[in-house]
Amino acid sequence: MEDPLSRRALITGITGQDGSYLAEHLLAEGYEVWGLVRGQANPHVSRLRKHIGDVRITTGDLLDQGSLISAVERVRPDEVYNLGAISYVPMSWQQAELTAEVTGMGVLRMLEAIRVVSGISQSRTPGGEQIRFYQASSSEMFGMVRETPQNERTPFHPRSPYGVAKTYGHYITQNYRESYGMFAVSGILFNHESPRRGAEFVTRKVTLGAARIKLGLASELRMGNLEARRDWGYAGDYARAMRMMLAQEAPEDYVIGTGKIHSVRDLVEFAFRTVGLDWQDHVVLDDRYTRPAEVDLLCADPKKAREQLGWEPRVTFEELVTRMVESDLRLLSGSARPEDEPFSPDHW
């Protein structure tokens, strides 16, 4: 028998890094968790269930409005977490139109699905038991920053098609909140990583590279801009913040980050030091890995989240990099544990 008091959550992007940590967290909190995936034969579902356990699946596509309405009607969730996106920033220049459709318009389609299923119109505002919606906004929206650190009032100046699409998603979420009274919030999450991060992202590229060189599987690591500075945190910590936002009495947007800056050079140096190597002996600079328009500095001001949500990061930058390097050493040496396996970068 199902517990009638348990809350039900629907997560888009559940087969990605963030979706897996959020599903894990919500299950531990007693939620019934559903994931939205494209197609019945999605190969990433079995891996998700191996890691996470009792997750239910429904089909839907952020490119298809009708499928989202059907999914929301079937699941009847209390909460919807929209984490689905084309999330690899360099790819957004190669597939700009698809990025706009999935990462930007996909947010509108999910909001519309909730509005339609809930029967919300301009003349009918939602009641207290409405579906609560979380949108995964991004620090990439700040782009060419106007001030440092960045908070909820800092203007946006995105520097990639990904950042532009995320900015649209952020504003359309705000618009539906103000137009229809929907409980819709955005979490402006700064860079968050883990051993489950896809190998194409710079943090995982570095930790995998250090592990390969340590194990004699490679001799060099090719990198682009080492001077870009980011606010890096642990993805599991950020999943806690998502739920906290939807547990508030009133819908508000929050910046989530550590408030501490590290350069890509710092990341490389610490990862190689973790395996007992000097990075300068192995890292080669390669212009092919430089972005067309670089974002030089991103640093969060998480004061609002700290004071209103009571949220604090628990894992430091050094602990995060150590975990990722040790996980990749196990993965490449054949002694990997299930939680060491990366999740799908294609999770919309």
The answer to whether residue 41 scores a pLDDT higher than 70 is no
Tell me which of 123 and 47 has the higher pLDDT. 47
How far is residue 87's CA from residue 102's CA, in Å, rounded to a whole number? Answer: 10
Q: What distance in Å separates the CA atoms of residue 27 and residue 244, rounded to the nearest whole number?
A: 15
And the tokens for 100? 């706009």
Closest to 109 (Cα-Cα) out of 65, 79, 67, 74: 65
CATH 3.30.450.90 applies to domain 8-193+233-256: no
Q: Tens digits of per-residue pLDDT, 147-175?
A: 999 999 999 999 999 999 999 999 999 99
CB atoms closer than 10 angstroms to residue 227: 11
Domain range list for the chain = 8-193+233-256, 202-231+260-298+305-334
Asked whether 52 and 45 are in contact (CB, 8 A), the reply is no
Q: Of 254, 59, 84, 251, which Cα lies nearest the Cα of 169? A: 84
Fill in the amino acid letter for 104.
G
pLDDT tier, 340 (very low <50, low <70, confident <90, very high otherwise): low
Please answer whether residues 207 and 324 qualify as being in contact, where contact means their C-beta atoms are separated by less than 8 angstroms. Answer: yes
The closest of 234, 312, 253, 48 to 134, measured between CA atoms, is: 253
Spacing of C-alpha 3 from chain mean position: 29
Spatial neighbors of 334 by CB under 8 A, at least 6 apart, are: none
Q: Which of 167, 203, 258, 274 is catalytic?
A: 167
Give the pLDDT confidence of 63-120 residue by residue, as tens digits.
Answer: 999 999 999 999 999 999 999 998 777 778 889 999 999 999 999 999 999 999 999 9
202-231+260-298+305-334 CATH choice from 3.40.50.1220, 3.40.80.10, 3.30.930.10, 3.90.25.10 = 3.90.25.10
Burial (Cβ within 10 Å: 0-12, 13-18, ≥19) of residue 51: middle
The 3-state secondary structure of 184-211 reads EEEEEECCEECCCCCCCCHHHHHHHHHH
The confidence band for 1, taking pLDDT boundaries of 50, 70 and 90, is very low
The pLDDT value recorded for residue 346 is 58
Measure the CA–CA gap between 154 and 148, rounded to whole angstroms: 9
Strand-pairing partners, residue 193, are 234
Do 311 and 245 form a contact (C-beta atoms < 8 A)? no
Residue 118's pLDDT is what? Answer: 94
The better pLDDT of the pair 69, 129 is held by: 69
The share of the chain scoring above pLDDT 90, in percent, equals: 77
- pLDDT of residue 207 exceeding 80, the answer is yes
Least confident of 7-16, 51-60, 105-114: 51-60
Is 322 one of the annotated active-site residues of the chain?
no
SS3 121: strand
Any idea which of 55-59, 88-92, 100-104, 231-235 has the lowest mean pLDDT?
88-92
Record the tokens describing residue 9, joined without a space: 């959550």
To the nearest 10 degrees (0 to 180), the angle between helices 106-118 and 65-75 is 50
pLDDT tens track for 253-308 = 999 999 999 999 999 999 999 999 999 999 999 888 776 767 788 999 999 999 99
Cβ atoms < 10 Å from Cβ of 4 = 5
How many angstroms separate the CA atoms of 119 and 5, rounded? 23
Higher pLDDT, 41 or 244: 244
